[in-house]
Structure 1
């Protein structure tokens, strides 16, 4: 009985859904699915409708009205939540931890290295001439000094970023 009803109503529902869905801003497939669900609910509670074709037309129009009401009340997001490009709290925490580890390693560097690296990382974007003047060293020795300091920093940070090996 139910199978025969579905087979009989399928072409009518497809036609009605195509005619009504686009006018309401919906998709015919979504509308068909909603009406099939209504039919299943109706069959469980009250049995098959006495006039299946008439019932189907009324159900399609009722679903279209419901869909329009929902569309008026719902407001879309400006962006999809999953597409948000801003870093989440966990990313901010990891970035802050890396920044603290870097700053701590810079403070442990020997000699003029902490001041030199801080000057290189300065948001002022200092030139080599300005850095050399600030540190009181010649501009020509700044490159080799920077290289030596970065080597020291690399050695300090290596144990913190190296992958741990399994010991057996």
Structure 2
């Protein structure tokens, strides 16, 4: 009772203030115990211990042996957290919406692909054919693209770079840059 001897009917704030260094040290030590298995965050342990302490203070008052109570409570909360971590599995039952597959995202993606293909078709000369081949759903290799277009494989990279620059300039001219407000 040495930690709380000054306040026999201690207010929760004084008990928390007196036990704070001990709870922090015990939680850090228990969380860093690698032999115990699954990692537990020290802050999570501290929070759980403070909750238990406030429940105890409301029901029975301060513990008779605060140091022992803190040690036992930290260990019990760490065991509970590790047990929960081993048992918990992410909830996926097939009915929850995958944000990547939501209808809005699919529609926006389809619109963006249509706009890109339309812009590629407006490119001059062999740029339109080259980029259309590179965007084809079959994901062809440089060798396949070069054979289909009758070009050398070594020239595809530089030509592609020039074509992408042309496409970038064309799209930059079409897209309206928002004005700065204020």
- TM-score, length of structure 1 as denominator length: 0.52
Other-structure match for 1:38: 52
Distance 1:43 1:108, change over 3 A: same
2: CA distance between counterparts of 1:8 and 1:164?
58
- Residues in 2 aligned to 1:108 and 1:31: alpha-carbon distance in whole angstroms: 62
Of Structure 1 and Structure 2, which has the larger fraction of its residues in helix?
1
What's the CA shift string for 1:87-138, capped at 9, x where partnerless? 94566644432332344466689xxx68x5553332442479837xxxxxxx
CA distance in 1, matches of 2:129, 2:79: 66
Determine which of 48, 73, 89 is the counterpart of 2:61. 48
Other structure's SS at 2:32 match: helix
SS in 1 for 2:61: coil
Where in structure 2 are there 5+ consecutive unaligned residues? 1-9, 91-98, 135-143, 152-162
**2:171 paired with 1:161:** no
Aligned to 2:139: none
Runs ≥4 residues deviating over 6 A: 106-109
Aligned positions, number = 133
Q: Is the CA contact (8 Å cut-off) linking 2:121 and 2:128 kept in structure 1?
A: no
Partner Cα distance (2:18, 2:120) in 1:
78
Q: In the TM superposition, what is the alpha-carbon distance from 1:15 to its structure 2 partner?
A: 3.8
Give the alignment of 1:18-29 within 5 angstroms: 18-23=28-33, 24=36, 25-29=39-43
Larger radius of gyration: 1
**Cross-structure match for 1:63:** 77
CA distance in 2, matches of 1:158, 1:14: 56
1:49–1:55 Cα contact (<8 Å) kept: no
Aligned residue number for residue 143 of structure 1: none
Cα shift at 1:68: 1.8
Deviation at 1:63, TM superposition (A): 0.5
Q: Secondary structure at the match of 2:150?
A: helix
TM-score by length of 2: 0.49
